[in-house]
């Protein structure tokens, strides 16, 4: 009974009502941790009515065996030759008589692929979009497109969240976890979610820990460390609720996993597939000062707060279009700075922006109102430079009105998060035309506005 209650609490605030029709995924997946092979036989139903304006996205490492319709007939499909990419996925479109199949109600997609296993030799990069085998665990997220994702062409949105009922088999796995359900012992387990969610997959040899408000996977914390960690997380959530006026009731799942990239000393990274937050290159318990009841390093607080902030920009609103990366990452990074500023004082933000400004000394930004493709917002732009633009807006309108602007963005539904959205939501939130024009002239149109931050 307690497991069921925890699951309900973990999921209850992850519902996203922006889709009138939510896809349902059913079928089987088999993962071999020793060879890196993944074999899937999935059925997509309840597919939104998008006429011909849809695509199917699947990781480039998979080979499709067949796509079949509701009658079980094998379909022709575009994308097998000279296919185009969208993110980490190849683009496929089912066809009938040379034309895209209109409003398929049901599609069965069978495919297989093999991926490298990283142990002694590591990759030059690890990120959320990688299907990662490290000899102990396997990780695959919505960004990696390990399951078929529908792309809505007209609304420029990937529909990663779906309900599901799938069976996962991995003969050499101790535990299996699918985001939206609870971890279960291997080698075979069935996972279900009646709430739309992005079904991240995490398989391997690991244990679990549980507190009143969270679930921890592949961690080895003692009770005191768990208590302190959860206390700090609760503090961050309370702050975000206070300033953004949107409740944060999600009970998170925290995962530790080994990166498949060689990290320099002290480096780590994290990603979010709500309600799961995963970290690579660190031990959560090592971050905790048991005597002081806090994180050992002040930089750990904003690091964790950034991932917690993705509940808002990434879940409550799912950014798309040309400013996808700005609204996904720059906002979350800025919120983490504000949460840390509230905890440690204004000197934290002063030091943060001074350090970032030095690193961005030679950076040249394409003005946001000239961005034509979301990839123009590079890693340095979205994580480092974008927060300077938001700080500049705060300098002009003040903290309270900036948070009101964030709230206006977060309560929007089914809109393109492009520059027009940025400006429209600013004006809707009460920012005057004169204030916006000043912000645009001083910060947006500057190649490097870091020196303007006070």
Give the separation between CA 454 and CA 223, rounded to whole angstroms: 42
User: pLDDT-derived band of residue 12, with 50, 70 and 90 as boundaries?
Assistant: very low
Residue 296: how many CB atoms within 10 A of its CB?
12
pLDDT of residue 267: 76
Residue range(s) of every CATH 1.10.390.10 domain in the chain:
324-452
| Mean pLDDT of the 92-103 span | 95
Give the separation between CA 374 and CA 323, rounded to whole angstroms: 6
Which residue would you say has higher pLDDT here, 18 or 216? 216
Dihedral angle at the C-alpha atoms of 410, 46, 182, 214, nearest 10 degrees? Answer: 10
Looking at the predicted structure, is the pLDDT value of residue 166 above 80?
yes
| Residue 413: C-alpha distances to residues 16, 17, 55, 442 (Å) | 10, 9, 22, 30
Tens-digit pLDDT profile for residues 308-357: 999 999 989 989 999 999 999 999 999 999 999 999 999 999 999 999 99
| Mean pLDDT of the 239-251 span | 92
Give the residue among 304, 329, 24, 297 at the shortest CA–CA distance from 159: 24
User: pLDDT-derived band of residue 6, with 50, 70 and 90 as boundaries?
Assistant: very low
Looking at the predicted structure, is the pLDDT value of residue 5 above 70?
no
Tens-digit pLDDT profile for residues 34-65: 999 999 999 999 999 999 999 999 999 999 99
The pLDDT mean for the chain works out to 92
Which residue would you say has higher pLDDT here, 291 or 2? 291
User: pLDDT-derived band of residue 31, with 50, 70 and 90 as boundaries?
Assistant: very high
pLDDT of residue 20: 55
Residue range(s) of every CATH 2.60.40.1730 domain in the chain:
20-205
User: pLDDT-derived band of residue 7, with 50, 70 and 90 as boundaries?
Assistant: very low
Write down the architecture of domain 324-452 according to CATH.
Orthogonal Bundle (1.10)
Write down the architecture of domain 20-205 according to CATH.
Sandwich (2.60)
User: pLDDT-derived band of residue 23, with 50, 70 and 90 as boundaries?
Assistant: very high
Q: Which residues pair with 119 in a beta bridge?
A: none
pLDDT of residue 302: 94
Looking at the predicted structure, is the pLDDT value of residue 170 above 60?
yes
pLDDT of residue 121: 86
- pTM here is 0.82
Share of the chain above pLDDT 90, in %: 80
Tens-digit pLDDT profile for residues 366-416: 999 999 999 899 999 999 999 999 999 999 999 999 999 999 999 998 899
């Amino acid at each position: 009974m307690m497991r069921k209650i925890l699951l309900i609490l973990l999921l209850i605030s992850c519902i996203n009502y922006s889709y009138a029709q939510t896809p349902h995924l059913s079928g089987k997946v088999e993962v071999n941790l020793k060879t890196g092979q993944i074999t899937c036989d999935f059925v997509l139903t309840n597919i939104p009515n998008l006429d011909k304006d849809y695509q199917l996205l699947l990781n480039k490492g998979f080979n499709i065996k067949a796509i079949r319709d509701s009658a079980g007939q094998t379909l022709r499909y575009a994308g097998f030759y000279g296919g185009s990419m969208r993110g980490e996925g190849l683009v496929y479109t089912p066809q009938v008589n040379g034309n895209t199949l209109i409003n398929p109600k049901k599609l069965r997609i069978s495919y297989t692929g093999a991926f490298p296993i990283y142990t002694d030799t590591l990759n030059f990069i690890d990120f959320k979009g990688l299907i990662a085998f490290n000899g102990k665990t396997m990780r695959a997220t919505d960004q990696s497109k390990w399951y078929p994702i529908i792309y809505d062409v007209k609304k420029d949105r990937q529909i990663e969240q779906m309900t599901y009922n799938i069976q996962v088999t991995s003969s050499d796995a101790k535990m299996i976890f699918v985001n939206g359900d609870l971890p279960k012992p291997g080698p075979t387990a069935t996972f279900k979610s009646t709430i739309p969610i992005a079904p991240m997959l995490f398989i391997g040899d690991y244990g679990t820990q549980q507190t009143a408000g969270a679930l921890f996977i592949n961690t080895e914390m003692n009770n005191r460390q768990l208590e302190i960690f959860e206390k700090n997380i609760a503090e961050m959530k309370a702050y975000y609720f206070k300033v953004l006026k949107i409740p944060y009731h999600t009970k998170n799942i925290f995962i530790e996993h080994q990166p498949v990239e060689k990290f320099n000393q002290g480096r780590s990274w994290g990603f979010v597939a709500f309600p799961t937050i995963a970290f690579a290159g660190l031990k959560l318990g090592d971050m905790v000062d048991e005597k002081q009841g806090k994180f050992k390093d002040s930089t750990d607080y904003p690091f964790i707060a950034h991932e917690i902030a993705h509940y808002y920009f990434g879940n409550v609103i799912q950014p798309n279009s040309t400013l996808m990366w700005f609204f996904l990452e720059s906002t979350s990074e800025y919120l983490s700075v504000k949460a840390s500023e509230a905890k440690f004082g204004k000197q934290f933000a002063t030091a943060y922006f001074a350090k970032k400004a030095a690193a961005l000394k030679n950076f040249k930004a394409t003005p946001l109102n000239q961005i034509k493709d979301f990839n123009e917002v590079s890693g340095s732009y979205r994580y480092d430079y974008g927060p300077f633009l938001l700080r500049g807006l705060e300098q002009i309108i003040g903290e309270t009105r900036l948070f009101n602007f964030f709230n206006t963005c977060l309560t929007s539904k089914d809109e393109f998060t492009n520059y027009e959205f940025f400006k429209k939501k600013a004006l809707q939130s009460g920012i005057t035309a004169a204030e916006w024009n000043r912000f645009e002239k001083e910060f947006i149109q500057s190649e490097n506005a870091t020196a303007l931050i006070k």
